[in-house]
Chain A
Amino acid sequence: MFFLDPFFYEILISGLLAGVMYALVALGFVLIFKASGIFNFAQGVLALFAALTLVGFQTGQIPFAHLLSLFGLHATHWGAGFPTIVALLFSLGVMVLLAWLIVQIVLKPLVNQEGIILFMATIGLAYVLEGVGDLMWGANVKELNIGLPEGPSEIILDATDMFIDKLEISAAIVAIVLVVSLTLFSQYTKMGRALRAVADDHQAALSVGISLETIWWIVWSVSGLVALVAGVMWGAKSGVQFSLSLIALKALPVLMLGGFTSIPGAIVGGLIIGVGEKLFEFYIGPLIGGATENWFAYMLALLFLLFRPQGLFGEKIIERV
């Protein structure tokens, strides 16, 4: 029986860890959707941009070096970078500033528009950010190293013969901490309540004294923080390259499974997809030609759309007749 096969557990754990990485990306979507009903197409690009900025600060890159070279300035680096902690803080600062710009330039002018229009605005935002990221930091693949442990975990390898990457374990721990704090924040603080209020009814939120603009800025900043974490984890794993923004596509099935408005749902959805993918590929893949990892997640999401469209934890859509 496959339960007795030790390799099963290695795949299971590897799947769980991969799932956590997916969940990290999905989390950013959930936050914005929860608070403003917008599906942020630019979430993947935000993660990419955050990672680029971090590497830029770490290695002392000059932003917009390509552009400046047109004016005769040919240097690409200042000569020294910032220490990792400082670079992380600066990157966070950049994301917060970016959030403010997005609120002022994209969200405020489109305040009362339909959801679909805001969604299209985020598509535009994605392309703009991608272009700016390229102009600012260059499109070459960059290595991202913030000092996280790498390589197989020796302890586990010695004890159980299972190859588990230390990096993925770190990512899991960070993700869990993030999810727990975000859930607590949403349920138990005044700002968390204000976020939920804005998500529910703009007029009522205004009449109770909540400033929509401020809330949107907070939400997009927190999403920016989540994007930074996701960008760092994925960048450390496979380098910072422009295909990083495509991980957003993998987040979609996660969202459909977990529900678009649930923070714990993003984690559970991610885990299910991660484990499902790996197990399916290993046990059933060989029977149908392999390479199932590419489409399994979407198949699963499709099934969910048919039978439980709100996902496992999402809010049920009740229409009062």
Chain B
Amino acid sequence: MEEKKKNNTIMEVKDITLRFGGVTAIEGVSFDILEGEVRAIIGPNGAGKSSMLNVINGFYHPQEGEVWFNGQKRGAMKPYQIAYQGIARTFQNIALFKGMSTLDNIMTGRFTHMKSGMISQVFWKGKAEKEEYENREAVEKVIDFLEIQTIRKTEVGKLPYGLQKRVELGRALAAEPKLLLLDEPMAGMNVEEKEDMSRFILDVNEEFGTTVALIEHDMGVVMDIADRVVVMDYGKNIGDGTPKEIVSNQKVIDAYLGVSHD
């Protein structure tokens, strides 16, 4: 892979500790994500990866530690406000709006870009109309990009799993995020579908410069598309570097092979 122009840090988490009652999900984890890179977060099941993503997303508030986004420390923010900052995500178990069509689902991704208020929306005039067309155009671009034209009007609850994952990616892309968080985007896919997904992710990263952070279990995919990798195990950060460095890191090998911990 060609050398990417490495820019500033877009996201940094410092000394994050997250507890749920007596269970410590994340302990003193720090790492950064550089603008324009593809950062993978890997680790055995239960390592705290999804929790980490939820912290970045603003769904969970860590008891200790700081989250810095775009050079600013994040104070107490509600989850829906994070979306306005330019962070979009997909979920491990697919959180689509099952009762809506593909088109409508992806349109909800444009929510943060729709500025006109309720009154002008009701009367469908001028600004609201123009905005609706612009947003519709953006959504159509996403649909073309992901090659899902044929299922535009289908109710997503009726779609097969692989296509649902793609629609969810579409909804996240429609928000034109600065940082895209993907929680196991390849889960449950066959080889062909994984190749398609990888291609989409790389295209988004290369064409639009979107920074991608993804949780993934398939090491082949991680080796292929990630620039740098963070490895978590039992809530701690046990490895951080390029895919090649990680693979030869003894602690990481131990974690995956299940060497007993003291």
**Hey, which bits of chain A sit against chain B, CB under 8 A?**
185, 189-191, 193-194, 196-197, 199-201, 203-212, 218, 315, 318
Contacts and interface: CB of A to CB of B under 8 A. Distances in A.
Interface stretch (B104-112, B193-201, B202-210, B222-230): B104-112
A196 B91 contact: no
A209 B79 CA distance: 8
Contacts of B111: 190, 193-194, 208-210
Interface string B131-168: 01000000000000000000000000100000000000
B175 A203 contact: no
A200 B97 CA distance: 5
Interface magnitude class on chain B: 20 to 34
A189 B88 contact: no
Contacts of B97: 196-197, 200-201, 204-205
A194 B59 contact: no
B121 interface: yes
Given A189-B121, A189-B122, A318-B157, 6 more contacts: A196-B104, A206-B79, A207-B79, A208-B109, A209-B84, A218-B118
A211 B96 contact: no
A318 B122 CA distance: 33
A191 B78 CA distance: 19
Contacts of A205: 80, 97, 108
Contact of B121 (A191, A201, A209): A191
B183 to A, nearest CB: 11
A318 B155 CA distance: 13
Contact of B88 (A185, A193, A207, A315): A207
B98 interface: yes
Interface in B39-82: 57, 59, 78-82
Nearest to B78: A211
B241 interface: no
B80 A200 contact: no
B28 interface: no
A211 B80 contact: yes
A79 B107 CA distance: 54
A204 B96 contact: yes
B98 A200 contact: yes
Most buried by A among B83, B84, B116: B83
Most buried by A among B84, B116, B121, B132: B121
A108 to B, nearest CB: 12
Most buried by A among B84, B89, B108, B116: B108
Given A189-B121, A191-B121, A193-B104, A209 B99 contact: no
Most buried by A among B80, B83, B132: B80
A211 to B, nearest CB: 5
